[in-house]
Amino acid sequence: MHDAKAIPFTRRKRWSKATLTPWIFLSPALLIIMIFVILPTIAGVVISFLRYDAISPVEFIGLQNYKLVFQDQLFYKSMWITFLFAFGSLLPTVFISLVLAVLLNQKWFPFVNLFRAVYFLPTVVSMVAVSFVWLWLFNPQLGPINPLLSAFGISAQQFLGDSSQALAILILINIWKSIGFNLVIYLAGLQGIDNSLYEAARIDGASPLQSFRFITWPMLTPVTFFVVAMLIINGFQVFDQINIMTGGGPARSTYAIVFYIYQKGFSETNFGYASVLAVMLFIVILVLTLAYHRINARLER
């Protein structure tokens, strides 16, 4: 005869073990997220209600910083530049990544593994290193692009020194840097599509374009949602390129919001106002992500 009291105790022990084990494995990651994400976020929100410059005594000023941000024309300009950068990079990156992924997913494509590695290579290179390389390439005096243009009869350009060209060049570099990662994501999505769907489409006489339209594209909807969401979030957080290549210029034509936050926080030591700008950026990204999620959910119905 088993002890009646031992059975519930054994079950309780198994239950507690099964419950605690996942949390034990997750605890290092959760601890890192807590220390480097959640706590700094809470601290940033708290500091946004303060007058804090790391020198003078801290003073609680309530919503005064938030009132100032709505009167700040540079805030609106930096947000507009950030919108242009993020959405100017979005469609070309999605289109090029998807086209390349479809091509590199074909068995007949020569040296497919080599091309996959080449396209993914910019992703693993630091944006700081990439920015310095492109800064040299677009140097009006020392870079190789102006001599190349002169060979085709095009006059020398100022590139990053021209307010009408600087933002477009940064967008171009961001597209080049982002293609490899999104290409791999699309490749994973393409390889998850059942090949029998394409075989059935071929039997029914569907052309490759029709197969893409009615099979590939609908099946890649979740992948596209992830790619677009990440491109928007990353686009709104651009900083390294601007800090290294343009410094927000010329004439503040590349003065994106994160660079503005950096200037307010670390150049002017106005941490209270910088925190407000960061909170506003968070709200904008959150609203855009939720809106995109709702639009995507409606399209899937």
**Rounded Cα–Cα distance for residues 285 and 296 (Å):** 16
All domains in the chain, ordered by first residue: 4-47 (no CATH), 72-300 (1.10.3720.10)
Residue with token string 């994501």: 185
**Rounded Cα–Cα distance for residues 85 and 220 (Å):** 25
Q: What is the mean pLDDT of each run of 10 residues along the chain (301 residues)?
A: 52 64 87 92 92 86 92 95 95 94 83 81 88 93 90 90 93 94 92 89 88 89 91 93 93 94 92 94 92 81 68
Using left for φ > 0, alpha for ψ between -120 and 50, and beta otherwise, residue 150 falls in alpha
pTM of the model as a whole: 0.86
Residues 6+ apart with CB under 8 A from 121: 180
Instruction: Determine the pLDDT at residue 1.
Output: 46
How far from 268 is each of 33, 39, 48, CA to CA, in Å?
A: 29, 24, 15
How far from 215 is each of 104, 183, 193, 206, CA to CA, in Å?
A: 18, 18, 9, 11
Instruction: Determine the pLDDT at residue 19.
Output: 76
Residue with token string 């601007």: 242
> What does the DSSP 8-state code read for residue 161?
G
Choose among 166, 169, 301, 295: nearest CA to 232: 295
How far from 1 is each of 4, 5, 10, CA to CA, in Å?
A: 9, 12, 16
Instruction: Determine the pLDDT at residue 159.
Output: 92
Instruction: Determine the pLDDT at residue 9.
Output: 52
How many Å from the N-terminal Cα to the C-terminal Cα in the chain? 58
Using left for φ > 0, alpha for ψ between -120 and 50, and beta otherwise, residue 186 falls in alpha
Instruction: Determine the pLDDT at residue 16.
Output: 66
What DSSP assignment string belongs to 93-156? Answer: HHHHHHHHHHHHT-TTSTTHHHHHHHHHHHHHS-HHHHHHHHHHHT-TTTSSHHHHHHHTTPPP
